A and B are shown apart, each in its own frame.
Chain A
Amino acid sequence: MTENRIKAHPILIDDSVADIPFYWQDQTFLAKEGEMISSALMASGVTIFGHHPKDHSPQGIFCANGQCSQCMVIADTLPVKACMTAVKRGMQVFPADGLPKLPDVQSWDNLQTQPTPKYDTDVLIIGGGPAGLSAAIELGQAGVSTILIDDKAHLGGKLVLQTHRFFGSSEAVYAGTRGIDIAKKLEAILCQHTSVQIWENSTAVGVFEDKSIGVYKEGKDYVLIHPRMLLIATGAREKSLAFPGNTLPGIYGAGAFQTLVNRDLVRPCENLFIIGGGNVGLIAGYHAIQAGIHVCGLVEAAPECGGYKVHKDKLVRSGVSVFTSHTIVEALGTDRVEKVVIAEVDKDFKVIPGTEQQYDCDTVLIAVGLDPVNEFTSQAELVGLPVFSAGDAEEIAEASAAIFSGKIAGRKIAGFLGKQTEEIPAEWAAIEEILKSRPGEVTEPNIPELEEGVFPIMHCTQEIPCDPCATVCPRHLIHVDPSDIRYLPEVDYFAEKGCIACGRCVAVCPGLAVTLVDYRKGNENALVTLPFEQDPTSVAVGNEIELTSTEGMSFGKATIKTIKKIKEFENGTSLLTVEVPRAIAKQVSGLRIIETIEPSPFEFDTEHPENLADDAFICRCERVTAGEIRALIRQGMRDINQIKAVTKASMGACGGKTCLNMIKRMYLAEGIPLSEVTETPVRPVFIEMPVRVLANLTDNEGESA
């Protein structure tokens, strides 16, 4: 049996053993305790979870977040989402091929339905990610009765996928600490506050006329919560992209990929291709490399990657080919992705014919931006329930900004409820704005003329909100303007008490963009210390590594002289020191980790690429193509309700979570402003809900049936 589990990882340590047997089509597989069916199947090499009833197309994991419905399987006779259902010992799992058959009912004599339990609370927070946790801490501090619900088994939201050290402000939002560790810190603080109840595995399903919220509580009961105020901290969902082959197994959202790799330590593939050069795509690419996955390339349609340059640099130094002004034309494969075709685009993002190239890969990661999950906000507004939102649900930004916006929302709500006497500090709004800000222009690197002594080189050349380097120097030689941490760090190279080569600035930098150059030997060589966040067993003193510039240019090989760890940063970060000629010492900024693969030429076998784009799927659930929808738009349909009626797009299991935004983008692409387009109303239920749960069907002992 294939075992696609990550055994060696620089940051994540997992001693748990997959020893829970379950059955996939009668074959015995092993899962870890509490592991979701999807991850256990992927770990055993299963990527096709079923076939669609409409066209028999293979279905597999797509969002891994309980939002889409592509991962449906039949578990112990019931249709379930594989990504949200934990494996049980001896569970019989079968692919969802065609329509599921409801199991026969054995005996109903001892079963009865119960009234729906009701809960009153001052505040209900939906979502236990960075924003929800931070808000809950503030409400807990103010003693406000609060229920925090989260649909996952563990709090933290997407923080639990963020293995990198955070940018932002060290003082305000734990910059320099890894996202996974921030989640633990926030949860620990929250647990001290007794006025906050935490319900994990609990999903909100709708906001109702009487201002109550229906919740599928802890995977068992259906309850109604009547809060005085609602805080939506539901984060974001990933935008998708229409291209032929876009629903093949092996095409994931970036979040799904990070869930498999970083949360569940499952290696879902060998050779990855990434679409989108924002922070999500860039970071996910580096996470893949850390998990031992080859990243062959990344395309970004804009002329420059939109994410932080330091994130892009990490990929480029490692050996990933990054193509800006490029897009994906098509993904090809029968039962899963086998290759992608990419091409250059012009300034209007149209493919330039003749520029097509291809890459062999087994997985494509889509990271083309995020949309707020805001349907509960609009439902609450409709029924007149006071509602706030924070984090990505309010505005898409970095997780560090979400932490801070949650904190502000928590304070505000406490204030509205009359439970907050402290004013919100005036500077908080400014800090929030800074944390949310987009990266600035790229400038020339600020490299000193100096060629003596020892000092750090800051390879970051773009203004981003970040200050950890300035907080760790024992000699206070690195300065970031505390009133606006977007300014680039400045190093005092000529201080009386200079650098002691401690390496802390190298280790803490979230962008891995600080090196230490040491000329003290005084010969024609200098020592360079580099941060290293890959599998620590892959390097040893005496090994040769290939050094690169920030742009990925090779400086040839060098031998590792020392490997050291700094206690405070030992989790995941090592410092490698190499000896290089003085002339290049200040340019060396990283090392090659993977083999760089160049794309190969591709010739179209289809005549009109424009028609080819019609084959892309817009609605995954009901298998509605771009061509079908474009034809209706061109016929003059301006009411999405009517598109929905005619094609069934958005009427599937997920309720339009992916396709409705894609349809809106298709209108814009056709030159039709959204002011002329009628949108569809948001209706419950947010996720498909078993009838037995809604009826609170129990057996005689009161256990949920």
Chain B
Amino acid sequence: MSEKRNDPVLETLSPADRARFLNMVKKGISRRDFMHYMMAAGATAAASGTLFTGVSDAWANTPKRGGRVVFAGDQHGPNDTLDPALFTSAVDYFRGRMYYGSLTRLTKNLGYEPELAEEVLSNDSATEWTFKIRKGVEFHNGKTLTADDVIYTMNRHMGADSISNASSLVAMVKEWKKVNDYEVKAILSSPNADLPIALGTFHFKILQNGAEDFSTAVGTGPYKVKEFKPGVRTVGERFGNYWGEGGYLDEIEHFGIGDPVARLNAFLAGDVDAMVNLPPKAISQVESAPGKSVWSLESAAYINIACRKDMDMSGNHDLIMAMKHLMDRQRLVKGVYKGQASLGNDHPIGPAYFDHSPDIPQRMMDPDKAKFHFEKSGIGNTTVPIVAAEVAPGAVDQCLFLQREAAKIGMNVDVQKVTTDGYWGAVWLKAPMCVVSWNMRPTANIMMTLAFKSDAAWNETYHQDPEFDKILVEVRGVTDAAKRKEMYHTLQEKIHNDNGSIIPLYRNYVDAVSDKVKGLTHVPLNNFGGAEAPVTLWREDA
């Protein structure tokens, strides 16, 4: 791991000394010369030795300027866009991070830190948020960032006719108000303590006031557009007037290679420095290749089987319980995902979420319990159809595992394999039982609001539970930690027991990267470190 910037030895030095020592190491001073120098200055040999190691390590982890990286995503196409509101894919998110900035930036633990907003404040009830905008931030065309740009950007995500893919995340915002040139206010219709986290996600990249032409991107990001051809490639070149730390490379090139074998070949041959979605079978191959590493993020993304509770058979509670007990979770994690996943507990809030509840007993495969529920369900030898497509690696395998275990207790599961093409329109939310793949969301509340609230557009199991909805809305305004924890526990337990969603595991985001590339990020919301990496990437051999 390259994240050792806060070395304790180095911390003891004054900033001036630190800069001086770093400079000495940078210029190639040897250990012996360094120790001579230090001992002449009165330090002991042991102390100077430790200091040299500390400074060298720090130097090795200090970003270098220059160089170029090539990052390969997967699916790209003519619908690649530079309009953040329309982003749909990992290549969009990554590209967005190269060219744009956002009010807040997400951290590894899914907290947030200020970015274009240098200060974020809320009132006690979390119904009014104030964002103080950083001064002196420059757009790629030289214009300075002000409140008008922020208001314009945010209004594109507002209202019923918004084309934004993320409008639901800010649906509780009633109005964006300009206080002065460097301060804006969000007035909420219901409390939301997590608003600044939502604003750190992919779609809320800050545009210039009035921006309508998205053939290029005029953002505040560390790279500006050198080339953008949808479905071909994008190349970002360093923006000299970037306001913050970051943007160390001369250029970043990003494009998709749809075929996993071709992508792996290109990565192993060194044609690209990093690749997205390493197939589980290739993990050991990358681990044993010199100079290449697996870049894995423990996440709570999951692939589930959604059973519609509003239909006759798929709504049969005992049938659902039987299937939950037929999932061989351990074998899926080991066999299908080669360990790059963790056990799922039939609710969407995995351990990677801040609000995960560890107190719900882990459900494991239990053929006896499954048999008990299956007999109680009265399904008998009627066929149980599950529609499956390879919406994410392992999605179909998961159903086939279930089918095999089901056969042992006399349950007749029929896995109907279809193509991913048109799947979200034709199958999802329509078929009684189907496979779905979910990315992790920044907070437990966003995740459950999107897909588990009774009136959610994506309530794929059509499960109705007014009490669940009540707690889910109430908890948004709760500031007492213990109470919040208890409420989130109840929510997860309810899904675990009553919902029609079968969630056997939480899968990691697994990418691969060359060891020469440093400054990797680990935000568990998407591939390539949550698509947050462009800002901090640098090359060791630059």
Partners in one complex: no
Q: Taking beta carbons and an 8 Å cutoff, which residues of A are in contact with B? A: none
